[in-house]
A = this chain, B = another copy of it.
Amino acid sequence: MDSLEIDTPMNFCQACAVRNRAICADLDDEEIGLLNAIGRRKRLRAGEQLLWEGDEAIIVANVVEGVLKLSTQTADGKEQILGMVYPSDFLGRPFGETTPYGVEALSDAQVCVFRRADFDRFAREHPRLEHKLLERTLAELDRARRWMVLLGRMNAEQKLATYLVETAERLLPANCDETKLGDERTLTLPLSRQQMADVLGLTIETVSRHISKLKKEGLIDLPGRRELTINSLKALAERGG
């Protein structure tokens, strides 16, 4: 299957949901028009793979909608999730020969796809875009390094608590605190237990055990397998070290 298969022409950047947050935010109308001409909108179903690890780096993309994971396999078959990308995030490896990780949609998703060669050329000719990309890449590097501390120096409980706090901060309605009740402290986990294990460098059993432990201790509740209620974000954050 051709990975540049076109689902929808990307005609209307103007109406794009992430127009003001993605790396194209600083471009003027003329530039947007040019970018429009080299990009294509693509829809992905949950579970569909956009890029394979080690592939020639043919494409890069902007996320418009949905959540995707970046991940890699070890020689002995274990998986490590390297990062998650959300709407307005950029993915792929510009200015590189191969894509160093696989990309898979975790939910149904929409992305703007560019051939890497086209994108590289466009970027070099448009410093404002390159600047945005640089700022994002620097922020991503900071994030990867914080995650290195989690992977290298935290125990299972700290890893899990840190992950849950981070997830809550991203997904829970803003300025939610302990005083809120019910739904407002409940979120839908974007990852399965196995995927959490792959993010945290643990096994599924260890994740499950520590989630149960946090529940038993009253810090969280589990209305459903994919539902999580935070009873005390503060206490949870303290467990994160």
Contacts and interface: CB of A to CB of B under 8 A. Distances in A.
Contacts of A101: 145
A227 interface: no
Contact of A241 (B74, B94, B201): B74
A176 interface: no
Given A127-B127, A138-B96, A201-B151, A145 B241 contact: no
Interface in A128-187: 130-131, 133-135, 137-142, 144-149, 151-154
Contacts of A133: 134
A215 B117 CA distance: 47
Chain A residues touching B, majority SS: helix
A53 to B, nearest CB: 11
A89 to B, nearest CB: 13
B80 A138 contact: no
A115 interface: no
Contacts of A151: 148, 151-152, 201
Contacts of A80: 148-149, 152-153
A190 interface: no
Nearest to A147: B148
A231 interface: no
A204 B140 CA distance: 30
A121 to B, nearest CB: 12
Nearest to A149: B80
A79 B149 CA distance: 8
A72 interface: yes
Interface string A177-206: 000000000000000000000001100000
A138 B137 CA distance: 7
Given A82-B148, A100-B146, A137-B137, A154 B95 contact: no
A78 B153 contact: yes
A1 interface: no
A74 B149 contact: yes
B76 A142 contact: no
A70 B152 CA distance: 15
Contacts of A82: 145, 148-149
